[in-house]
Amino acid sequence: MNGVHSGLPILDDLDAEGQRVVVRCDLNVPLANGAIADDLRIRAAVPTLRALLERGARLAVCSHLGRPKGKVVEDLRLAPVGQRLSELLGTAVTETRDVVGEEAATACESDIQVVLLENLRFEPGEEENDPAFADELASLGDRYVNDAFGASHRAHASIAGLPARLACAAGYLLADEVAKLERLLHGAERPYVAVLGGAKVSDKLGVIANLLDRVDAICVGGAMAFTLLVATGQKVGRSLVEEDRVEEVKGVLEEAARRDVPILLPVDVVAADSPEVGSPHKVVPLKRIRDRMGVDIGPRSAEQFAEVISTAKTVLWNGPMGIFEIDDYSHGTSAVASAIAAATRRGAFTVAGGGDSAAALNRLGMTDAVSHLSTGGGASLELLEGRDLPGIRALREATTMGGDRR
Ligand code: ADP
Ligand code: MG
C-alpha cells in the first residue's frame, strides 16, 4: 500500500503479552429504546480484541456513545454494549461505572481480562483533548491500540492524545478501513464510478472535488441532488436545497465539465406532498415536480445509474438515493444497491461508506452487496476528501518518534 496513510504501526508488531492494552474502539451504535438497533460496529471490533486476548493481553476497552457532552447521561451508559460485546467475544466483560476514576483504575490493575470503561464522553476532557485526561486514560494501561476508525477524524484525547503516551498500534479494523479507502484514492481500477446521495451536499462537496481527477463518472441522488439541479438552472419544487451552496456547486460542476467527468443527475423523481409515511406521492419527470418534494430518484434515473455502475471496475457509494427509511421512498436506494451488488459479483471493487448507507443496506438485508462496508461515516468522508485524520496522524507520528517512550 502506497497511500498517504501507509506507515501505520501494526497490531502484530505490538508487544502485548502480559500487558494491559487500552483499546479505543468505535462502539457508538444506534440505540432504540435502550436496545442496540444495529451491532455492526461491535462485531467489527471483535477481531482485534480477540487477537489481543489470544496473545495474552488484558484489555481496557473504551469508546464513546452518543453525545453526552461531558457529563453522565444515564441512557448513554455503555452497559448494553458491554453485554453484546461479551456475547460476541464469548468472554466476560467487566464494565466500570467511571472512565478514569477509582473503579476503572482498580479494575485495570486487576487480573480481569476485559474491562470496558464507561462512555468516554462523560468526561469533558475527552472531546477537549485535555492533556490531564489523556494522562489519566494512559495510566490505565501499558499499551494503546486505536481500532476506532469511525472516530479517528476527531482530535479527542482517546484518539489523538494516547499515541504519544503509550507504545501503540493500529487495530485490524482501522488498518483495513484505511487500506480499503486508500484503494479508492490511489490506483483504483477504471472505470471508477462514484454514487453519492444523502441529505446534505455540503457534507460531500469536498469528496466530489477530490474525486474529480480520479473517477470516470459521478451519479448523484438523494436530497443533495436538488442543490446540483438548482445549480444547473432546473426547478425542484419544495425539495431540500442548500441555497447557500449553489454558487460553490456551480464551480464544482464547471470543474467536472472541464475534466470531462459526467455528473449524472436524476431525470425523474418520486414527488410527494410531504416527506412522511402515507403522503400522496407519484413518479414524475423532474420537469413536472411542481410544488411537490422529491423524496427518491425515479426508476428512469435508477436505470441510468445502474447502467453506468454496470461498466465499473471500482464503485464508491455514499448516501442513500432517497428517504429510504420509508418503504415507498426506498426503491431508488434498493435499485442502486442491487446494481452495486451485481458489480461486486462480477469482480468489481465496491465500497459503501456513511452511517445511513450502511443502515440502508442493513434494512435491505444486503450488507454483502459490497466488497467493503465502511463503519465510518464522517471519518470515511474526510479520508476521501484527501485529509489526514488526526487519529491516524498521531499513530504515524508516534512511530516515527520511536516506539515505547514510557
Ligand atoms: P450517509 O450517512 O450514508 O452519509 P447522509 O447522512 O448524508 O447519508 O443522508 C442520509 C439521510 O438523507 C437519510 O436520513 C435520508 O432520509 C435523507 N434523504 C435522502 N434523500 C432525501 C430526499 N430526497 N429528501 C430528504 N431527505 C433525504
Ligand atoms: Mg448520516
Condensed to tens digits (0 to 9), the pLDDT of residues 302-338 reads 999 999 999 999 999 999 999 999 999 999 999 999 9
10 DSSP 8-state letter: B
Residue 231: is its pLDDT beyond 70? yes
Tell me if domain 11-178+388-399 and domain 187-375 are identical in fold. yes
pLDDT tens for each residue of 65-85: 999 999 999 999 999 999 999
Three cell numbers at 38?
444495529
Residue nearest atom 5 of ligand 1, based on CA coordinates: 198
Q: How far apart are CA 63 and CA 95, in angstroms?
A: 12
User: How far does the centroid of ligand 1 lie from the alpha carbon of residue 321, in Å?
Assistant: 7
Our CA angle for 323, 329, 332, nearest 5°, is 95
Residue 2: is its pLDDT beyond 60? no
Q: Is 235 a catalytic residue?
A: no
Most ligand 1 atoms within 8 A of CB, residue of 202, 276, 277, 356 to mutate = 356
Tell me if 319 CB under 6 Å of ligand 1: yes
55 or 30, which is more confident?
A: 55
Q: Strands 217-220 and 263-264, how do they pair?
A: parallel
pLDDT tens for each residue of 264-307: 999 999 999 999 999 999 999 999 999 999 999 999 999 999 99
Q: Is 355 a catalytic residue?
A: yes
Mean pLDDT of the chain: 95
Burial class (CB in 10 A: 0-12, 13-18, 19+), 355: buried
Our CA angle for 275, 219, 279, nearest 5°, is 15
Q: Which ligand 1 atom lies nearest to the CA of residue 269? A: 23
Closest CA to 166 of 16, 313, 294: 16
Q: Ion ligand 2 — residues with CB under 5 Å?
A: 355-356
Tell me if 354 CB under 6 Å of ligand 1: yes
Q: Determine the CATH number of domain 11-178+388-399.
A: 3.40.50.1260
Placement of cell 467536472 in the chain: 256
Our CA angle for 187, 190, 196, nearest 5°, is 95
Residue 405: is its pLDDT beyond 50? no
Closest CA to 3 of 169, 177, 190: 177
pLDDT value at residue 355: 86
The CATH fold assigned to 187-375 is: Rossmann fold (3.40.50)
Q: How far apart are CA 132 and CA 18, in angstroms?
A: 26
pLDDT value at residue 334: 97
* Per-residue b or e along 251-267, where b marks 16 or more CB atoms closer than 10 Å to that residue's CB: ebbeebeeeebebbbbe
The domain spans of the chain are 11-178+388-399, 187-375
C-beta separation of 318 from 381 below 8 A: yes
User: How far does the centroid of ligand 2 lie from the alpha carbon of residue 150, in Å?
Assistant: 12
Which alpha helices (DSSP H) does 30-145 contain, by range? 40-54, 79-89, 102-109, 124-127, 131-138
Number of Cβ within a 10 Å radius of residue 244: 9
